[in-house]
Structure 1
Amino acid sequence: MTQARIGSPAPAAAVAAPAGEAPQRRRHPWLAPLVPVAPNTRWMLGLSFFVLFFGVWAVVTLGGFVPRTFLADPMTMAREGMTLFTEYNFIGDIGMTVWRVVGGFVLAAVIAVPLGIFMGAYKAAEAFFEPFVSFCRYLPASAFIPLLILWAGIGETQKLLVIFIGSFFQIVLMVAVAVGGARKDLVEAAYTLGANSAGIVRRVLIPGAAPEIAEILRLVLGWAWTYVIVAELIGSSSGIGHMITDSQALLNTGQIIFGIIVIGCIGLVSDLVFKRANQRLFPWSSIQ
């Protein structure tokens, strides 16, 4: 047999794996854990799922597999959506729903974030507040609607309070956990440099937890959209939830689906805006 020249590189297939280890196969980047995807690829993959979803929906409805009384096809849904905008002032309903979500969520965040920071920084405060906050966190906001109608009527206050109750306790506990998980070495270093307790909270705990707090607010904002629809289903004369209730009485599944899609689109846009703002405000954060 012909001998390979001394010093010439061996073929890649001939390189033996270390003893006791199986040869590793080169995996596609999409199949490798935690390997990031290029931004353009991410957008393409996300959009392709929506195309697939609407394609399956069209085949199921237009093909007669599901009666249109129970599930309208995409074209009927689009026509009903145009009717909502042109004849029923649906843009006003969207504005009312957005205002309720923003109002209740901001009210909850303004109170919950400082309380969560206080609980996370001081363990005595956490021991005092945490059992009650954990208890309330498991109470569904919709269960308070009958009481809130008795206390505040069926006006805007009742709807804002539903969103407040659904968001407040979640934010408090999650912020407390984020602040309480600060690195102890940074705290000790700050004490060594002469910082007092207030300085530790202001210069170490809050800046360290700020990216995670912003991410918590982004997640809870999505939950607030579920609470506002529940609030609008009962005793409301405006809003997307009110439109869905009226459409359900008329068996107009096209309008119901259109309202649901509008909620999803608004939530998706707000989520992307929130995420982009977090990336600009906290570029050092690993939360992306």
Structure 2
Amino acid sequence: MGAFALAGAMAVPIGLKMGSFRLVGAALEPVVDLIRYLPAPALPPLSIIWFGVGEKTKIFLLWLGAFFQLALPVADDVRRVPVEFHETAMTVEAPWWRRLTDVSLPAMAPTLVDNMRITLGWCWTYLIIAEIVAANSGLGFVIWQARRFFRTPEVMAGVVAIGFIGLATDQLIRVPHRPRFAHLTR
């Protein structure tokens, strides 16, 4: 969760700036796009070389998988905020940072929450890959060890546990979103 929170804390402000300022978007989007398309199974060997086997590698892989998957949708959501909203803010001489925090962010909040939920799902996939290849603990590690000894019930239990944990974390993000931002989606 720490790696996901770190990725979100970085991707949201960077995505806001990429979507709000053409120069920032033009400079960062090609790099973000390139890294976003790197195949997940190819990343653990590099991570192990850089960080060794353990928590640092898992955190890096999860951050890598979540940050680059989230930054571009945030930038796209900012671009979808109606121009009239920003024009209204400019008529009251709101500075650029207030337009981002008081106009763009609330207007894109429903889609931001959805993008966070989708990215969290990808983050779970990266976690399992990281634990299979670059860890000596965790559900992915347990599943991989059980697979080596043909313990199908343990593999299935691990897979089902991941599904339930993923569902629970998805609902943690989803539940607060509904009542607070319902008025924006009407």
Q: CA deviation at 1:236?
A: 2.1
Aligned to 1:209: 108
Whole-angstrom distance in 2 between the partners of 1:238 and 1:202:
40
Q: Which runs of 5+ in 1 are unaligned?
A: 1-101
The structure where helix makes up a greater share of residues is 2
SS at match of 2:133: coil
**Equivalent in 176, 179, 182 of residue 280 of structure 1:** 179
CA contact (8 A) 2:81 2:107 kept: yes
- Matched letter for residue 264 of structure 1: G
Whether 1:148 aligns to 2:37 is: no
Shift >4 Å, 4+ stretches: none
Whole-angstrom distance in 1 between the partners of 2:184 and 2:156:
37
Aligned to 1:94: none
Q: Which has the bigger relative contact order, CA under 8 A and spacing at least 6?
A: 2
Whether 1:266 aligns to 2:159 is: no
CA contact (8 A) 1:247 1:253 kept: yes
Whether 1:221 aligns to 2:120 is: yes
Whether 1:106 aligns to 2:5 is: yes
Query: In the comparison of the two structures, how many residue pairs are matched?
Result: 186
* Deviations 1:6-57, CA, capped at 9 Å, x for gaps: xxxxxxxxxxxxxxxxxxxxxxxxxxxxxxxxxxxxxxxxxxxxxxxxxxxx
Whether 1:193 aligns to 2:92 is: yes
Tell me the TM-score normalized by structure 1: 0.62
Q: Which moved more, 1:146-155 or 1:184-193?
A: 184-193
What aligned pairs does 1:25-40 form with structure 2 within 5 A after superposition?
none
Whether 1:120 aligns to 2:19 is: yes
Aligned to 1:7: none
CA contact (8 A) 2:44 2:134 kept: no
Q: CA deviation at 1:125?
A: 0.7
Aligned to 2:154: 255
Whether 1:137 aligns to 2:36 is: yes
CA contact (8 A) 2:86 2:99 kept: yes
**Equivalent in 175, 179, 186 of residue 78 of structure 2:** 179
SS at match of 1:182: coil
Whole-angstrom distance in 2 between the partners of 1:285 and 1:217:
18
Whole-angstrom distance in 1 between the partners of 2:22 and 2:108:
16
Whole-angstrom distance in 2 between the partners of 1:245 and 1:125:
42
**Equivalent in 162, 169, 175 of residue 68 of structure 2:** 169
CA contact (8 A) 2:107 2:184 kept: no
Whole-angstrom distance in 2 between the partners of 1:187 and 1:236:
47
- Matched letter for residue 247 of structure 1: A
* Deviations 1:207-255, CA, capped at 9 Å, x for gaps: 2112221221111111111000000111422111111111111111111
Whole-angstrom distance in 2 between the partners of 1:251 and 1:198:
56
Work out which of the two has the higher radius of gyration on C-alpha atoms and give 1 or 2: 1
Aligned sequence identity (%): 36
- Matched letter for residue 125 of structure 1: V
Whole-angstrom distance in 1 between the partners of 2:172 and 2:96:
35
What aligned pairs does 1:1-150 form with structure 2 within 5 A after superposition?
102-150=1-49
